[in-house]
Structure 1
Amino acid sequence: MKGIISLLFSSALCVCFSQQVDLAKKYSATINEADLKKNLSVIASDDYLGRETGKQGQKMTADFLTAYFKRLGCSFAPGMTDFEQHFEVIESTPGGTLSLNGLSLNFKSDFIYYGCKSKTTLENIPVYAVEQLKEAEEKPCYVVHVMKSMEVRKEVSELKKQLPKHVKGIILVSDKYDTLYEYLEHYVTTKTMYLADEKKKAEFPILFLKQSALESLKKESNGLFIGKGKVLKFSKPIFTLNAQINTQQDKLKSSNVLAYIEGSDPILSKEVVIITAHYDHIGVDHGVVYNGADDDGTGTVALLELAEAFMEAKKNGEGPKRSILIMPVSGEEKGLLGSDYYSSHPIIPLENTVADLNIDMIGRNDIAHEKDTNYIYIIGSNMLSDDLHEINEAANKKYTDLKLDYKFNSLSDPNQFYYRSDHYNFAKHNIPVIFYFSGVHEDYHQPTDDVEKIIFSKVEKVARLVYFTAWELANAPKRITLNR
Structure 2
Amino acid sequence: MNKSLFLTGALALGLSLPSMAQTPVQVKYANTITAEDLTKNLTYLASDEMKGRDTGSEEQKIAAEYISNFYKNLGLTGPVNGSYLQKVDLVSTSFDEVNLKIGKNKLVNNEDFVFIGDGDMKKAAKSELVFLGLVSDENLAKVDVKDKLVGIWAVGVRSNDLVTKVMEAGAAGIVIVSMEGQANFDRIANRYKTLAGKGRIGFAKEVEQKPIFMVSSDKMGELFDTPVEELKEAAKSIPETIKSQKASYQIKKKVEEVESSNILAFLEGTDKKDEIVVISSHYDHVGVSSTGEVFNGADDDGSGTVSVMEIAEAFATAAKDGIKPRRSILFLNVTGEEKGLLGSEYYSEHPIFPLENTVVDINIDMVGRIDYEYQDAENKDFVYVIGSEMLSTDLKKILEYNNITYSDLILDYRYDAEDDPNRFYYRSDHYNFAKHNIPVAFFFNGVHDDYHQVTDTVDKIEFPLMAKRAKLIFYTAWDLANRENRIRVDGTNTRTDR
TM-score bucket of the superposed structures, by smaller chain: 0.7 to 0.9
Give the CA deviation at 1:249. Answer: 2.9
Separation (CA, whole Å) in 1 of partners of 2:332 and 2:308: 8
**C-alpha displacement of 1:387:** 0.6
> Are 1:120 and 2:133 counterparts?
no
SS at match of 2:396: helix
The answer as to 2:463 corresponding to 1:456 is: yes
1:445 aligned to which of 445, 452, 465: 452
In structure 2, relative to structure 1, the CA distance for the partners of 1:377 and 1:135 (3 Å cut) is closer
% identity of equivalent residues: 38
3-state DSSP class of the match of 1:271?
Answer: strand
- 2:86 is matched with 85
The question of whether the paired residues in 2 share the 8 Å contact of 1:115 and 1:203 is answered with no
Whether the 8 Å contact between 1:52 and 1:281 is mirrored in structure 2 is yes
Residues 354 and 90 (structure 1 numbering): CA distance in 2 closer, same or farther, change over 3 Å?
same
The whole-number CA distance in structure 2 between the counterparts of 1:447 and 1:482 is 41
What is the identity, as a one-letter code, of the residue corresponding to 1:41?
T
Partner of 1:368: 373
Q: 1:199 to 1:329 in 2, by over 3 A?
A: farther
- 1:42-95 deviation line (CA, Å, top 9, x unaligned): 111111111111112211110110111111111012x52310111122223355
CA distance in 1, matches of 2:17, 2:417: 39
Alignment partner of 2:434 out of 427, 436, 439 = 427
Q: Deviations over 1:367-420 (max 9, x none)?
A: 222243311111111011111111111111221121111121222111111111
CA–CA distance in structure 1, aligned partners of residues 239 and 360 of structure 2: 57
* 2:62 aligned residue: 60
Superposed CA offset, 1:288-334 (max 9, x none):
11211111111111111111111112222211011000011121111
SS of the aligned residue for 1:81 comes to coil
Greater alpha carbon shift after TM alignment, 344-353 vs 124-133: 124-133
Residue aligning to 1:319: 324
Q: Deviations over 1:91-129 (max 9, x none)?
A: 23355243669989464398533331x443375556544
Larger deviation, residues 346-355 vs 107-116 = 107-116
Runs of 4+ in structure 1 over 6 Å off? 13-16, 18-21, 101-104, 135-138, 176-181, 199-202, 209-212, 226-234
Instruction: Give me the whole-angstrom Cα distance separating, in 2, the residues matched to 1:202 and 1:398.
Output: 56
- 1:271–1:105 CA distance, 2 compared to 1 (3 A): same
1:482 aligns with 2:484: no
Task: Give yes or no for contact 1:96–1:107 (8 Å, CA) kept in 2.
Answer: no
Report the equivalent of 2:43: 41
Figure out how many residues of one structure are paired with residues of the other and give that number: 452
Contact 2:129 2:149 in 1 (8 A): yes
User: In the alignment, is the contact (CA less than 8 A) between 1:384 and 1:483 conserved in 2?
Assistant: yes
Amino acid at match of 1:462: R
Distance 2:244 2:449 in 1: 47
Counterpart of 2:267 (choices 261, 268, 282) is 261
1:196 touches 1:251 (CA, 8 Å); kept in 2? no
RMSD: 4.1
Amino acid at match of 1:264: T
Please give the secondary structure, in 1, of the residue aligned with 2:343: helix
Is the Cα contact below 8 Å between 1:76 and 1:260 reproduced in 2? yes
CA distance in structure 2 between the aligned counterparts of 1:23 and 1:199, rounded to whole angstroms:
54
| Partner deviation per Cα, 1:340-383 (whole Å, 9 max, x = no partner) | 11111111111110000011111111122224331111111101
1:6 aligned partner: none
The alpha-carbon distance between structure 1 residues 104 and 252, as it changes in their structure 2 partners (threshold 3 A), is farther
- TM normalised by structure 2 equals 0.79
- Tell me if structure 1 keeps the 8 A contact 2:367–2:466: yes
Assess, with a 3 A threshold, how the Cα gap between structure 1 residues 297 and 110 changes in structure 2: closer, same or farther. closer
Q: Secondary structure at the match of 1:328?
A: strand
Quick one: distance in 1 between partners of 2:397 and 2:111? 55
Match of 1:221 in 2: none
**Alignment partners' CA distance in 1, 2:34 and 2:173:** 53
- Partner of 2:390, secondary structure, is coil
Unaligned runs of 5+ in 2: 1-14, 134-138, 492-498
Q: Which runs of 5+ in 1 are unaligned?
A: 1-12, 219-223
Deviation at 1:180, TM superposition (A): 8.8
Contact 1:23 1:318 in 2 (8 A): no
Moved more, 83-92 or 60-69: 83-92
Q: Distance in 2 between matches of 1:199 and 1:70?
A: 39
Shift of 1:262: 0.5
Corresponding residue number in structure 1 for 2:10? none
Contact residue 410 and residue 418 of structure 1 kept, 8 A: no
Q: Secondary structure at the match of 1:429?
A: coil
CA contact (8 A) 1:27 1:312 kept: yes
Shift of 1:452: 1.8
Look up the match of 1:383. 390
- Given the alignment, which residue of 4, 7, 22 partners 2:24? 22
Whether the aligned pair in 2 keeps the contact of 1:88 and 1:196 (CA below 8 Å) is yes
Conserved? CA contact 2:91–2:204, under 8 Å = no
**Which whole-Å deviations, capped at 9, do the CAs of 1:432-454 have from their partners, x for residues lacking one?**
00011111122212222221221
- The structure 1 residue matched to 2:338, chosen from 333, 355, 364, is 333
2 CA distance for matches of 1:53 and 1:452? 24
Alignment partners' CA distance in 1, 2:482 and 2:127:
60
1:270 paired to 2:274: yes
CA distance in 2, matches of 1:155, 1:411: 13
Q: Aligned pair in 2 of structure 1 residues 169, 287: CA closer, same or farther (>3 Å)?
A: same
In structure 2, do the counterparts of structure 1 residues 275 and 105 end up closer, same or farther at CA, with 3 Å as the change threshold? Answer: same
Supply the AA of the counterpart residue of 1:297. G
Please, which of 24, 30, 33 is the counterpart of residue 31 of structure 1? Answer: 33
Paired letter, 1:66: S
Deviation at 1:208, TM superposition (A): 4.4
Match of 2:174 in 1: 170
Q: Normalising to structure 1: TM-score of the pair?
A: 0.81
Cα distance in 2 for residues equivalent to 1:481 and 1:14: 14
Q: Compare 353-362 and 290-299 and name the one that shifted more.
A: 290-299
Q: Deviations over 1:7-29 (max 9, x none)?
A: xxxxxx99985799622122212
Could you tell me how far apart the structure 2 residues matched to 1:22 and 1:28 are? 11
1:415 equivalent in alignment to 2:422: yes
For 1:87 and 1:100, locate their aligned partners in 2 and report how far apart those are by CA, in whole Å.
38
